[in-house]
């Protein structure tokens, strides 16, 4: 190992480039608006973080493209997805810095930026596409925005990433390869079905005997329960499940979904801890973006009210409408529906435990 060439902090970080990239538009038309610098710098930090998120997600995709993912790599995947969520928390927290800007100050330079807009952040769209949001998942209005507002070369880059396999697709394949949808000598899903029935029957009794519900509310609750019952029925019936999928009610295949349910139920076993954590942190990625969109929409409304934004449009309605959309991993978020009390989960037979567990003989001594 030879001694590397000495490195100077400012050169290494290319600070001259980075720190001279703040040119205000307001200064071109008169007095510089003091707060425009904040507007530029906060967006630049957002873009730097998006680059880092892409760096992590691209590496996760590369690992998951292997036909077999070694367990130590699962740990790497999880760390990187968790890092993404740590970064997202910063994206959210930064909104509080933006909120130190008042309406009165923002309007000093808003006009000079038209029609620039966060919608034009190519990197953010690449993040969504890499996670699993393809063009056909988007609302019509959003697709139109991209066409009219992204530069053609940026639009092309987005399409190129949309054409690649997404992390959602790779996770689905990985789950489908798992051996949990059917066991050789153990009718797990039959036993699960029985436990579910028992739980729902009990729920029904609770509703019927609940003194604080009048007949109308009782009827509502029982209808609700029936819907839950149907949901379970769909889960366990390949044909019904495919139909749901076709209707867009679910994105995962049935096989992948069953593996996910199994993982969630038996997450305490060493073999399933990391798979569980990965699914869980992917849901967290979705949720943090949802929170970010929501907080962002609120901030815009607080600063502009119903007035138009820099994109030349009154964006907060649109922003609010996308808050809860564009979630690639919603199926995992909704998985709680299929969970049952810990004490009611079927007992795993020894030959399966052996596969899920790790035991040191020396540790038993």
Interaction residues for a second copy, span 66-95 (CB under 8 A): 68, 70-72, 75-76, 79, 82-83, 86-87, 89-90, 93-94
Given the complex with a second copy, which of 257 and 274 has the nearer CB atom? 274
Q: Which of 225, 236, 245, 325 binds a second copy (CB under 8 A)?
A: 225
Q: Which of 112, 169, 176, 193 binds a second copy (CB under 8 A)?
A: 112
Q: Quote the least distance from Cβ 148 to a second copy, whole Å.
A: 5
Q: Quote the least distance from Cβ 130 to a second copy, whole Å.
A: 16
Q: Which of 65, 66, 103, 249 binds a second copy (CB under 8 A)?
A: 103
**Footprint of a second copy on residues 246-285 (CB under 8 A)?**
264-265, 267-271, 273-274
Q: Quick check: 144 binds a second copy (CB under 8 A)?
A: yes
Q: Segment near a second copy (CB under 8 A), from 40-48, 128-136, 158-166, 245-253?
A: 40-48
Binding mask 312-331 for a second copy (x = CB under 8 A): xxx-----------------
Tokens 């019904």 identify what position? 240
Q: Quick check: 29 binds a second copy (CB under 8 A)?
A: yes
Residues in the chain: 365
Q: Quick check: 160 binds a second copy (CB under 8 A)?
A: no
- Distance of CA 357 to CAs 73, 186, 268, Å? 18, 17, 9
Distance CA 5, CA 14 (A): 16
Distance CA 270, CA 267 (A): 8
Q: Quick check: 152 binds a second copy (CB under 8 A)?
A: no
Q: Which of 7, 239, 248, 347 binds a second copy (CB under 8 A)?
A: 7
Distance CA 245, CA 241 (A): 6
Q: Quote the least distance from Cβ 179 to a second copy, whole Å.
A: 4
Q: Quote the least distance from Cβ 246 to a second copy, whole Å.
A: 21
Q: Tokens for 88? A: 């997202």
Residue 123 backbone class (left: φ over 0; alpha: ψ -120 to 50; beta: rest)? alpha
Residue 185 DSSP one-character state: S
Q: Which of 136, 239, 347, 364 binds a second copy (CB under 8 A)?
A: 364
Q: Quick check: 306 binds a second copy (CB under 8 A)?
A: yes
Distance CA 143, CA 147 (A): 6
Q: Which of 140, 185, 212, 248 binds a second copy (CB under 8 A)?
A: 212
H-type alpha helices, the chain: 9-12, 15-19, 26-29, 36-64, 71-98, 103-106, 110-113, 122-131, 140-149, 152-163, 167-177, 188-209, 215-235, 238-246, 254-265, 270-304, 316-322, 330-333, 350-356, 361-364
Q: Quick check: 217 binds a second copy (CB under 8 A)?
A: yes
Q: Tokens for 337? A: 């529906």
Q: Quick check: 140 binds a second copy (CB under 8 A)?
A: no
């Amino acid at each position: 190992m030879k001694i590397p060439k000495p490195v100077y902090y400012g050169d290494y970080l290319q600070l001259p480039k980075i720190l001279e990239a703040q040119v205000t538009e307001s200064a071109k038309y008169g007095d510089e608006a003091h707060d425009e610098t904040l507007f530029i710098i906060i967006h630049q930090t957002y873009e730097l973080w998006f680059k880092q998120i892409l760096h992590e997600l691209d590496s996760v995709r590369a690992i998951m493209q292997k036909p077999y993912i070694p367990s130590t790599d699962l740990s790497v995947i999880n760390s990187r997805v968790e890092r993404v969520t740590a970064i997202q928390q910063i994206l959210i927290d930064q909104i509080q810095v933006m909120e130190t800007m008042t309406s009165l100050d923002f309007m000093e330079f808003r006009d000079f930026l038209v029609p620039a807009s966060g919608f034009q952040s190519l990197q953010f769209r690449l993040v969504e596409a890499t996670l699993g949001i393809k063009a056909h998942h988007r609302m019509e209005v959003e697709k139109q925005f991209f066409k009219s507002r992204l530069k053609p070369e940026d639009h092309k880059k987005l399409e190129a990433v949309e054409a690649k396999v997404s992390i959602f697709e790779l996770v689905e394949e990985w789950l489908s390869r798992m051996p949990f949808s059917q066991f050789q000598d153990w009718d797990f899903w039959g036993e699960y079905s029985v436990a579910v029935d028992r739980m729902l029957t009990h729920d029904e009794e609770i509703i019927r005997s609940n003194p604080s519900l009048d007949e109308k509310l009782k009827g509502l609750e029982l209808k609700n329960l029936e819907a839950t019952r149907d949901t379970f029925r769909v889960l366990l019936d390949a044909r019904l499940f495919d139909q749901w999928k076709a209707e867009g009610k679910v994105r995962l295949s049935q096989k992948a979904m069953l593996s996910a349910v199994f993982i969630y139920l038996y997450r305490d076993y060493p073999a399933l801890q990391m798979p569980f954590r990965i699914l869980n942190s992917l849901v967290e990625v979705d949720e943090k973006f949802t929170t970010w969109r929501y907080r962002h929409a609120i901030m815009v409304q607080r600063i502009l009210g119903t007035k138009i934004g820099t994109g030349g449009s009154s964006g907060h309605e649109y922003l609010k409408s996308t808050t809860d959309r564009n979630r690639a991993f919603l199926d995992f978020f909704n998985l709680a529906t299929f969970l049952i009390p810990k004490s009611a989960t079927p007992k795993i037979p020894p030959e399966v435990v052996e596969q899920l567990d790790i035991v040191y003989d020396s540790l038993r001594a």
